[in-house]
Amino acid sequence: MNSIRDSYVLMNGVKIPCVGFGTWQQPNNQKTVDIIKTAIDCGYRHIDTAYGYGNEESVGKAVRECGLKRSEIFVTSKLANPDHGYERTMAEFEKTMTNLDIEYLDLYLIHWPRPLAFRDNWKEVNEGTWKAFEELYEAGKIKAIGVSNFLEHHMDALLETAKVAPMVNQLELHPQYVQREAVNYCKDHRMIVEAWSPLIKGRMEHPTLLRIAKKYGKSVAQILLRWSLQHGFLPLPKASSRERMLENADIFDFEISQEDIEAMKELEALGRTGAHPDTADF
């Protein structure tokens, strides 16, 4: 990979830009439209949103107004937790496409595997959801389908009845939380692994990170994103300023040594920053 416009290739041959632009916690307003258009102007070609973020309309407007062909921007959205199951999934997908107001979706993910509303019958409900995903995919309304926050047992259950295997799994991944078992499962099943919260939600003051950043003449954010790429992940950083967007994209002119990768393992004692997929209270 030489730039954020370079791509991984999904198991169905679809190309997915190797660094995405995250929009979690961005409001649904003109400011967000302008931020996303700035990101596209800085070279980002992969925009990640979700129905639950409440900003799909802003994402769609930015994509439509950015001046590039629709085919040049990769757009991901995700199914919200209350709307699992075949019928609900179909209805929410239509809402998502109305919000985005674009011709098709590049990637659609099940946002969480075991929502609170379906805690006891999640396997059956996910089976219906995935059936809807497969039909939308086969109809050409979605270019690729996948999951988010799925651990091995969630994926095993889904694959029992799936006709089309998930192509992506989006997980919380950073040096504090490496999820080796889930990552290895995905790689064994040819799923691209996306990293949400790759910048540890801004918690970047660990002495080891500061030391390594100084060694390479890079910011801690650049070290964390480079760590993702060197592990074969697809990071989804957020940024609001052009300066940060450009900084987060400038991660292709160096490589972290194995010695420093090993040193970063001490952060694993700090653990995850988000909810666990089996116990999340939403």
Asked if residues 75 and 58 have their Cβ atoms less than 8 Å apart, the reply is no
Tokens of 89: 């999934």
Furthest-apart CA atoms within the chain: distance in Å: 54
Report whether 118 contacts 84 (CB < 8 A). yes
- What is d(CA 254, CA 175) in angstroms, rounded to the nearest whole number? 18
From 168, 122, 120, 118, select the one nearest 145 (Cα to Cα): 168
User: What's the rounded Cα separation, in Å, for the pair 218 and 222?
Assistant: 6
Residues designated catalytic = 53
Residue 135, both tokens: 């039909």
Q: How far apart are CA 149 and CA 172, in angstroms?
A: 7
Pairing of strands 105-110, 142-148: parallel
Amino acid residing at 65: E
Question: Are 195 and 174 in contact, with CB atoms under 8 Å apart?
Answer: yes
Asked whether the beta carbons of 122 and 114 are under 8 A apart, the reply is yes
CA–CA separation, 76 and 277 (whole Å): 20
